[in-house]
């Protein structure tokens, strides 16, 4: 096993379903064009009946429990990139925040958690507690742990571009203000509304401040067109990782 510098191309998108063959073809074409190393997907709307394969990628997914259709998260991992799937029962049992989590091994026994997160509109009562528990259960205060959390959290707030705040946005802003130092939180929002029908900045990224996220404007992520009611957000980071071929 060797280590090398690698700039990973990471993209997050609320795909608004990859159930049909047409929607999967859209995703395949998007991946072929943009060539992400990791593609974080929200609202897959998959369940156990669906078998999804995307050329050139492995898929780790978390379908919404007991759902016929709705919700769901996934991560596409480019073939050849070593990863580990992270499953923690307390996180999987969240009522509001849905996640798919993998980890990549870095040099010197460090690791980075990559988290595709989705929080459906409504169900605000447990949001603050669950975002807090996500950080606690992954032990993200540990200096050997890095993280990137990205997805549609349905959180509106002027701090990341919206003209007004909703309850979820106030909760997320309060969490960041309280724990920014403890967890080294850096917030990245889209450069323009990612949810175009609502003119809202819903697709967000919370990253360890020690990671270098390349942006044209400070803390503003580039948007990419996608055949959904959301645009994709592009996240790019460079770090030293352990190169290993996934079995």
Mean pLDDT by 10 residues, the chain (247 residues): 68 96 96 97 93 96 82 96 94 94 88 95 87 97 96 97 96 97 97 96 96 89 96 86 49
pLDDT recorded at residue 204: 98
Classify 167 as helix, strand or coil. helix
In whole angstroms, what is the distance from residue 119 CA to residue 51 CA? Answer: 24
C-alpha triplet 242, 244, 245: angle, nearest 5°: 155
pLDDT recorded at residue 247: 37
pLDDT recorded at residue 122: 76
How would you label 141-174 residue by residue, b for 16+ Cβ within 10 Å and e otherwise? eeeebbbbbbbbbbbbbebbbbeebbebbbbbbe
In whole angstroms, what is the distance from residue 132 CA to residue 231 CA? Answer: 27
In whole angstroms, what is the distance from residue 39 CA to residue 37 CA? Answer: 7
Q: What is the pLDDT of residues 95-127, one digit of tens each?
A: 999 999 999 988 778 899 999 999 988 777 899
pLDDT recorded at residue 118: 97
pLDDT recorded at residue 124: 79
In whole angstroms, what is the distance from residue 203 CA to residue 151 CA? Answer: 5
Query: Rounded to a whole number, what is the largest CA-CA distance in the chain?
Result: 49
**Domain boundaries 2-243, CATH class:** alpha beta
Residue 173 tokens read as 């802003």
Nearest one of 106, 199, 189, 122 to 154, comparing CA atoms: 122
Helical H segments across the chain, by residue range: 21-34, 89-92, 127-137, 167-183
Phi, psi angles (nearest 5°) of residue 189: -115, 170
pLDDT recorded at residue 214: 83
Q: pTM for the whole thing?
A: 0.93
In whole angstroms, what is the distance from residue 43 CA to residue 92 CA? Answer: 16
């Amino acid at each position: 096993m060797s280590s090398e510098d690698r700039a990973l191309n990471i993209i997050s998108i609320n795909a608004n379903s990859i159930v049909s063959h047409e929607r999967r073809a859209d995703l395949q074409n998007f991946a072929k064009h943009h060539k992400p190393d990791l593609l974080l997907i929200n609202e897959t709307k998959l369940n156990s009946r669906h078998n999804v394969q995307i050329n050139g990628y492995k898929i780790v997914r978390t379908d919404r429990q007991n759902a016929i259709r709705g919700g769901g998260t996934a991560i596409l991992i480019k073939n050849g990139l070593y990863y580990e799937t992270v499953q923690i029962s307390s996180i999987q049992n969240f009522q509001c925040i849905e996640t798919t989590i993998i980890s990549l091994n870095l040099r010197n026994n460090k690791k980075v958690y990559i988290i595709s997160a989705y929080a459906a509109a409504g169900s605000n009562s447990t949001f603050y507690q669950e975002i807090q528990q996500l950080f606690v259960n992954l032990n993200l205060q540990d200096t050997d742990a890095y993280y990137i959390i990205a997805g549609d959290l349905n959180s509106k707030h002027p701090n990341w571009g919206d003209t007004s705040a909703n309850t979820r946005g106030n909760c997320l802003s309060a969490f960041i203000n309280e724990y920014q130092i403890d967890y080294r939180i850096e917030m990245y929002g889209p450069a323009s509304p990612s949810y175009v029908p609502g003119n809202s900045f819903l697709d967000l990224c919370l990253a360890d401040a020690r990671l270098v996220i390349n942006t044209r404007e400070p803390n503003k992520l580039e948007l990419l067109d996608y055949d959904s009611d959301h645009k994709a957000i592009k996240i790019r980071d460079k770090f030293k990782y352990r190169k290993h071929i996934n079995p």
